[in-house]
A and B are shown apart, each in its own frame.
Chain A
Amino acid sequence: MLLQDTIFETYSAIVSNKVRTGLTILGIVIGIASVIVMVAIGNGAKQQIEENIQSIGSNLLMVRGGAQRSPGSFVRGAAGSDESLVMSDVEAIEGLDSVASVAPLSSGNYQVIGNGNNTRTSINGVTQEYSEVRNVEVEQGSFITEQQQDRLAKVAVLGPDVIEALYGEGTDAGEVVGNKVRINGIDFTVIGTTVSKGGTGFNSSDDVVYIPLSTYQQYFQGDKYLSMINIKIADQDEMESAETEIENLLLAEHGIANASSADFSIMNQGDIVETASSVTDTLTILLGAVAGISLVVGGIGIMNMMLTTVTERTREIGLRKAIGAKGADISAQFLFESATLTFIGGIVGIVLGVVVSWVVENFFGTTTMVSNFSILLSFGVSALIGIVFGYYPARRASKLNPIQALRYE
């Protein structure tokens, strides 16, 4: 049988049963499209989380107090739960050559009242280095200065989410500077606002109020301990050696001989990205697997339809065999038919998947990323499904005995 004849036979078989063919193809279309959309959402989440982490600041090491890991255990104490880091640690770290700048931080959640509204947010006690180390950009006014730190000034820099919560959406940041806000019962003057970093969810770097560290320790915390020390390393290539250097320095400062009983922990950005990536990878696999199931169900639909077709066309198959068709001719015809169905379903599914991903991104605000890999994969899978699920019906057709097939009513 020539290829052009196989194509023609397939074409006439498909058009002679438009509704059934359409519904069967729909199963594949939905399967393929959902694989593409789900994987795009998973990849989008991964990309967004990675961007968020990058926005925290580059070449960053973070030291948290009291988060040591006991040997052989993955259970950690809550970050900052132990009081171990103090300003003398910061000064010691500043003395290292590999360190560009150091920004200590103490923070807690408190109620902020302003403009008659209130919101509960993260109050970060910081020094002026914080804006450089953590890439915080000021939109209006200025950031915390050294003088304000020295004077225990009651000044505050508001993040965009806080402004929105207190003054309403679309408020011009310039109008907010100079206003008074009340934090935990103490009046603060707003001296600046920060540029949105677009972070989402918990730990958003937009939902935050910065005040001088000294003020925080005096009025909110009541002691001299730090939650965290952010360290900017001068050279990206020296991250690892700097990490070791800082660890040894702090161990010496705290008089601890054994590194496994350290009362602090050091994280670098690579670790955070890796952890977040592994979470989103799992998410992508999960979403992809759920969508994959629908693809398999679509494949079973194909098999079901092909079996029905073979039964319906038993006499025709008998006739074709009687006039000289070989088993291979018959099975090629049915295999080609099922492969064509999944091929069409694959193409339509890819188009639909890309369109839906675009809609999700533009109308629902969820970042999606359609990867060429997921397109190729789902296309390959759909072609494979056509062959795998078409094989059994095609084989059944080719094995039909022509005498019995011709008698079939």
Chain B
Amino acid sequence: MIECKNLVKIYRTGDNETRALDDVSFSIADGEFVAIMGPSGSGKSTLMHMLGALDTPTSGKYFLDGKDVSKLSDDALATIRMKKIGFVFQSFNLLPRTSVLRNVMLPLIYEKVPRHEREVRAGKSLEAVGLPKNRWHHLSNQISGGQMQRVAIARALVNEPSLILADEPTGNLDTKTGEFVLQTFRKLNEEKKHTIVLITHEEEVAAWAQRTIFIRDGKIISDKKNS
């Protein structure tokens, strides 16, 4: 359960003041698949950083599973990210020269999960995204782009997060592979009831979600269910 109340984020560079988020309020229920859409500079990345507990708002409140995370310290935010959030990035951000399995296990290292359990959980995640087992011990730079992104999704799943945040997950992929990745998200949402927030600037991508929040100039312009 995500609840944002009057989120404001102001960036200051010298005398200039940029209102990246201007009084944004909305909520997302557990198990929803939501797209946040907007052109570049609309504030959608800033919003993603708030939702992902990478940054805190200038004012306003953000509740994640009923806990206010808008005023936490850096280390406390790191703990929130470790336990409740899974990230999928546009450029995958896998560790190079490292096996697929180890990449997926990476978040569990910081959670001090014992080695054996890590492998079991990473295996489950990889099965959930449908990556063939014969690829698990490949190095991350020896697989295709679509497979890389699915490995990244498996990594986002492995800590059983309350929220999966995907930032332009299809931006570096061709249309067909992109659709396959989006299919994976939809499947995870429908079958495993994961809460997914997808950030994108493309309407076709946003259409895969159940609901689209459109923002521009830091304000919500529209918030509607996709038909």
Contacts and interface: CB of A to CB of B under 8 A. Distances in A.
A395 to B, nearest CB: 14
Contact of A1 (B83, B89, B112): B112
Contacts of B86: 323
B111 A403 contact: no
**Of A5, A12, A318, A327, which is in contact with the most chain B CB atoms at under 10 Å from its CB?**
A5
Given A322-B81, A324-B79, A329 B97 contact: no
A324 B98 CA distance: 19
A403 B159 contact: no
Contacts of A316: 93, 95
Contacts of A319: 89, 93, 95
B93 A324 contact: no
B93 A315 contact: yes
Contacts of B52: 322
B143 interface: no
Contacts of A322: 52, 54, 81, 87
A318 B49 CA distance: 13
Contacts of B120: none
A4 B75 CA distance: 22
B168 to A, nearest CB: 12
Given A1-B110, A2-B109, A2-B112, A323 B97 contact: no
Interface in A309-345: 315-316, 318-329
A406 B152 CA distance: 15
A186 B51 CA distance: 108
**Of B78, B79, B87, B95, which is in contact with the most chain A CB atoms at under 10 Å from its CB?**
B78
Nearest to B158: A323
B173 interface: no
Secondary structure at chain A's binding surface: helix, strand, loop or mixed? helix
B18 to A, nearest CB: 15
B78 A326 contact: yes
A191 B103 CA distance: 89
B87 to A, nearest CB: 5
Interface of B: 49, 52, 54-55, 74-75, 78-79, 81-83, 86-87, 89, 93, 95, 97-98, 106-107, 109-112, 115, 155, 159
9 contacts: A12-B97, A316-B93, A319-B95, A323-B107, A323-B110, A323-B155, A324-B159, A325-B82, A326-B75
Given A319-B89, A322-B52, A323-B81, 10 more contacts: A1-B112, A2-B112, A316-B95, A319-B93, A320-B106, A323-B106, A324-B110, A327-B74, A403-B49, A406-B89
